[in-house]
Amino acid sequence: MTQPEPLSMMRAGLPDGLAHTELISSLEEAELDRLAQGMPVVAAVLGVGGGAAMDAAKFIAWQRAIPLYLAPSAVSVDACVTNTVAVRSAGKVDYRGFVVAERIFVDFGLISRAPARMNRAGLGDLLSIHTALWDWRHGAGQGGAELIPEAARSAAQILRAIEERAADIYAVSPPGIEALVRAYVLVNEIASDVGHAQAEEGSEHYFAYCLEHVTGRSFIHGEVVTLGAVLMAEMQGNSPGRVRALADDAGVRWRPPELGVSRDDMDTTLRELPGFVRDAGLPWSVIDEARIDEATVSMLAEAVR
């Protein structure tokens, strides 16, 4: 299960007739169903590529109960270590299934050939701990999930550790790549232990999903999550400078013009955010507490200009 670019880098190594290759173009429900139905009988599935290839491979392994192997071609998202599949259904993300890879191959040679921008964006799913933890802590007792202090402390520690690796992440060096993947593994362990992802997924992700919904576009996940983290840290009054500095030190692009996000897209997304999280039934976050009026919309949009 792969994508055109990683496939072009390994074509010589794929034995004809022994392996069946599928290219994944999206994680829309209809596309995944089409793949699952059209695939021949196979003994195992290997995903090579970005987040979409990882998730499509996980989907097939889950549906068919066959062994799963994953080789991320970039460390742009944590999809290689997570156990569920982020299916896009009617403009929303729905997590399905449960599957554990037999092996995750972290091939520095393959990963370092991806655009640096993609690999640096991998920080987004860790930097999100900063705002997600705030949401989790403040939501407990206000309708949100109960806080598990030990898990929250571990997540905070993962964020502090990755902060020290900003220069390696910027350089996309083997230590930087390894630090990202190992941090994903630790965050995933926390999520498995507590039964939800609130240590790393909160309002910053909700903003990213809402932006995709409003614009009908897909973005580099870690970049929009980072934009969301800067915005939500502003709204939380939660050291937005820390998020900006870490993102900039690691070379993550997050400013709206760099992502092709217009001021109109920003304003509309922020206005629709409260309704979006309500309709999607997302866990408690600062969005439930804040009044997002026109003054807040323009304050936030100005803050990330």
Judged by the rule CB under 5 A, the positions of this chain that interact with Zn ion are: 125
Task: Identify which of 103, 21, 19, 18 has the alpha carbon closest to the alpha carbon of residue 67.
Answer: 103
Please give the Cα distance from 290 to 283 (Å, whole number): 15
| CA-based radius of gyration for the chain | 19
- Picking from 124, 149, 121, 123, the residue whose alpha carbon sits closest to that of residue 136 is 149
Q: How far is the CB of 292 from Zn ion (least distance, A)?
A: 22
Pair 155, 190: CB distance under 8 Å: yes
Q: If residue 86 lies in a helix (H) or strand (E), which one and from where to where? A: strand 85-89
Distance CA 303, CA 243 (A): 13
d(CA 45, CA 78): 19
DSSP state of 113: T
Q: Which residue is nearest to Zn ion (CB)?
A: 125
**Residue tagged 């799913």 (tokens):** 125
Closest separation between CB of residue 54 and Zn ion, Å? Answer: 12
Q: Quick check: 161 and 127 in contact, CB under 8 A?
A: no
Q: Which of 125, 135 has the CB closer to Zn ion? A: 125
